[in-house]
Amino acid sequence: MLNALDIEGDSPLHRMPVRGKLVLLFSAAVGLFVVSDLRLLVPALALSAWLLLSTGIGTGQAFRRTRFVLFTVLLVAAANYVFVSPHEAAVVFCRLAALVLLAAAVTATTGISAFMDEIARLLTPLERYGFVRAADVSLAVGLVIRFVPEILSRYRDIAEAHRARGLPVRPLTTLVPLIILTLKDADTIAMAIDARGFRRH
């Protein structure tokens, strides 16, 4: 149901450590916003596109994943074309599209568990001051992945029950039973977690 967006492979990006990729992405973001010379931005866009395709994602899949964000980038570029100048539109388009493609490349080459390990490490300083516990975050992530399909099927059941009674399926009349039914499970799930001793203090 909730399939991760990473692609199996052995490209240089796949082998890079997660932290390295995130630092690279962040520095690229800063760099792209500092530079406004098309002679640098066009090669940067080409490099990002090449990096994304070098992950073995395939052109169609790469386009499907980024098309919505690229569409908003195009809208922003169009606004620049109308209000400022064609040159400015090209600058904004190359800058934002390069960043989006690079981010998609990082996502395509990093598995969920690798990301979670890195996040657990990033949370350790917060854990020391008692803000949040890394183990709790992993538990919550696991619970969401586990329960999304169940809640979706519960939504379908509620919509089905509406149709069986000849009622129109309205957001409000489906949402309230969906939320109450789902949250009522919290007690049993919490008891099951505590009974198994997942959260030892």
**Closer residue to other proteins in complex, CB, 83/164:** 83
CB 58 within 8 A of CB 7: no
Shortest separation between residue 72's beta carbon and other proteins, angstroms: 5
Only one residue has tokens 């350790």, namely 124
**Closer residue to other proteins in complex, CB, 43/149:** 149
Cα 68 to Cα 58: distance, rounded to the nearest angstrom: 17
Shortest separation between residue 164's beta carbon and other proteins, angstroms: 20
Shortest separation between residue 170's beta carbon and other proteins, angstroms: 9
Shortest separation between residue 49's beta carbon and other proteins, angstroms: 13
- Chain residues binding other proteins by CB under 8 A are 2-6, 25, 29, 65-66, 68-69, 72-73, 75-76, 79-80, 82-84, 88, 91-92, 96, 99-104, 106-108, 110-112, 115-116, 119, 136-137, 139-141, 143-145, 147-148, 151-152, 155, 171-172, 175-176, 178-180, 182-187, 189-190, 193-194, 199
Torsion-angle region of residue 56: left (phi > 0), alpha (psi -120 to 50) or beta?
A: left
Shortest separation between residue 115's beta carbon and other proteins, angstroms: 4
Shortest separation between residue 70's beta carbon and other proteins, angstroms: 8
